[in-house]
Amino acid sequence: MRKQAKHTAAVSLGAMAAGFALTFPWVQYGAVSLLHGGFEAGLVGGLADWFAVTALFRRPLGLPIPHTALLPRNRDKVVRSLVSVMENEFLTKESIKQKIEPYLAQDRLLNFAEKHLGDAARAIVALGGYALRHAPLERLANLAASELAKRLRELDSAGLLRFVSEEVVSRGYDERALVYLLGKAEELAGRDEVRRQLGAMAANALGNVQAKGFMGFAVNAFAGFMSEDKLGEMLQGAVLSALRDMRLYEDHPLRRSLAGELRKAVAGLPENEAVLRGLDEAKSSLPERVGLEAYLLRWLEDLKSRAESRIREPGFENDVLKPLLEDALRRLRERPETLEPALEWGKERLFRVIDDNHSRIGVLVRENLDKLDNEMLIEMIEQRVGGDLQWIRVNGALCGFLIGLALEGINMAF
């Protein structure tokens, strides 16, 4: 197109020059003089416009004529003007926001999402599969284990013991523990070896008693009458009876005393320094002792394997994911207020990005223009508007010809 216009401009200038030369010998004739004046003016107009168009980009005929090659000499001004126009006229912050804001309307976004629901489902499956395949499970397990260990160490040991003691007392676990211990003690005391041990202990104690007179006679008579087995059976019966009564009757004095001591010990756990130190040590060593990181890694690997198998199933996209997305869209349409905070948040962040990066438009324009040397820049401009500039030459020649005819006609008339 530009070459055709340039050819047309050259032809028009050549026609004016040829007409001027051909009519010169017969200029004394009226009609020829009129044409000669028109061709002369058209030649002047064509040459003047050729000079003007050429002077925009380069020096006409390579001559150092002042005020020519305007674009190369004023390149920096042109670039600054273009940057200023782009930033302050064409692509202002407000105009960009006004263009973008309609696309952020709730109905428009929901309609767009509904129209591309299948594409969204496929994208989610593809992204989900990629994320699962490249998930750094070892790193995640290490981070999770470190964070859990840190949180465990930061737990208030005294507060934890206080909570435990309050729960134990309020739920009656201390009473249950006492009854359980009494039952175990009763079970232990009823064993044969315990009876024999009690008998031996009683016989040894009687043998070591040092008494004189009637008391000594009575003790020796009792010791000679009672065997170890009988002493053990008697003591075992007494112990079993006492333990059974304590287990069955809540108002038993000894049981109340033991329950009070047990409750006092439980209530004093938060202030017990030895217990606190032991609990702190247990908290610090627990993750390593239970192999927390290895456990978390196995758990994550199992989750990953199951998730990959699930999303690879043929019906997952259409039978599971799409219905979920459709249901989510339906809920959003029914309750549009739930989407408003997210839209406002997204709009605020987007507009903030525009505000923070608006100057990059000018930087981008300048960087792209700086990549072009003068010849490339002139060539690019001529490709875009060169055709119209060449038509200026054609119009100059034609207008000059018509004006020349008019002026020569006026000259002849007067």
**282 and 161, same structural domain?**
yes
In a domain, 128, yes or no: yes
Co-location of 277 and 327 in the same domain: no
Using the predicted structure, report yes or no on whether residue 208 has a pLDDT greater than 80: no
Contact assessment for residue 138 and residue 297, using Cβ atoms and an 8 Å cutoff: yes
Confidence of residue 214 (pLDDT cuts 50, 70, 90): very low
Q: Residues 120-139: what's their mean pLDDT? A: 90
Split at pLDDT 50, 70, 90, the class of 410 is confident
As a whole number, mean pLDDT of residues 316-345 equals 87
278 and 296 fall within a common domain: no
Residue 210 in this model has a pLDDT that exceeds 60: no
Tokens of 215: 């008391």
Q: Which of 2-6, 66-70, 140-144 has the lowest mean pLDDT?
A: 66-70
- Round the CA-based radius of gyration of the chain to a whole number and report it: 53
Return the higher-pLDDT residue of 24 and 68: 24
Surface-to-core class of residue 192, CB atoms within 10 Å of its CB (0-12 exposed, 13-18 middle, 19+ buried): exposed
| SS3 (DSSP) at 176 | helix
In angstroms, rounded to a whole number, what is the distance separating the alpha carbons of residues 4 and 14? 15
Return d(Cα 239, Cα 191) in angstroms, integer. Answer: 12
280 and 296 belong to one structural domain: no
Task: Residue 96: name the closest of 353, 368, 365, 341 by CA.
Answer: 353
Same domain, yes or no: 310 and 206: no
Residue that wins the pLDDT comparison between 252 and 396: 252
Tell me the average pLDDT across 347-356. 86
Does the residue 42 lie in any domain?
yes
- Range picked from 93-97, 372-376, 383-387, 388-392 for highest mean pLDDT: 93-97
Average pLDDT over every residue of 231-249: 86
Flag whether 204 is in a domain.
yes
Give the structural domain span for 13.
2-73+373-413
Q: What angle do CA 247, 250, 254 make, to 5 degrees?
A: 75
What pLDDT digit, counting tens, does each position of 263-277 carry?
899 889 888 899 889
Tokens of 13: 């200038």
Token readout for 390 is: 């060449």
More confident residue, 245 or 32: 245
250 occurs within a structural domain: yes
Mean pLDDT of 324-344: 86
Question: How many structural domains does the chain have?
Answer: 3
Q: Which of 27-31, 63-67, 310-314 has the highest mean pLDDT?
A: 310-314
350 assigned to some structural domain: no
| Residues whose CB falls within 8 Å of the CB of residue 183, separated by 6 or more in sequence, listed in order | 247
Give residue 301's pLDDT. Answer: 94
Judgement on whether residues 253 and 282 belong to the same structural domain of the protein? yes
Domain presence at residue 359: no
Q: Are residues 272 and 297 in the same domain?
A: no
Please spell the DSSP secondary structure of 110-132, one letter per residue. Answer: HHHHHHTHHHHHHHHHHHHHHHH
Same domain, 272 and 178: yes
Q: Between 145 and 101, name the one with better pLDDT.
A: 145
Q: Which of 17, 97, 76, 47 is nearest to 394 (CA)?
A: 47
Measure the CA–CA gap between 297 and 140, rounded to whole angstroms: 8
Q: What is the pLDDT of residue 303?
A: 94
* 398 and 295 in a common domain: no
Establish if 218 belongs to a structural domain: yes
Structure tokens that stand for 176 in this block: 């249950």
Q: Judge if 295 and 276 occupy the same domain.
A: no
Claim to verify: residue 222 and residue 297 sit in the same structural domain: no
Cα–Cα distances (Å) from 362 to 72, 345, 357, in that order, read: 20, 27, 10
pTM: 0.52
* Helix spans in 58-156 (H): 70-73, 75-85, 93-100, 106-115, 117-133, 137-154
Residues 317 and 268 in one domain: no
- Give the count of alpha carbons within 13 A of 39, CB side only: 18
**Residue reference for tokens 């211990």:** 181
* Residues 6-40: tens digit of each pLDDT: 667 677 777 878 877 788 777 666 677 777 777 77
Q: Which residue has better confidence, 38 or 149?
A: 149
The answer to whether residue 313 is domain-embedded is: yes
Mean pLDDT of 301-305: 94
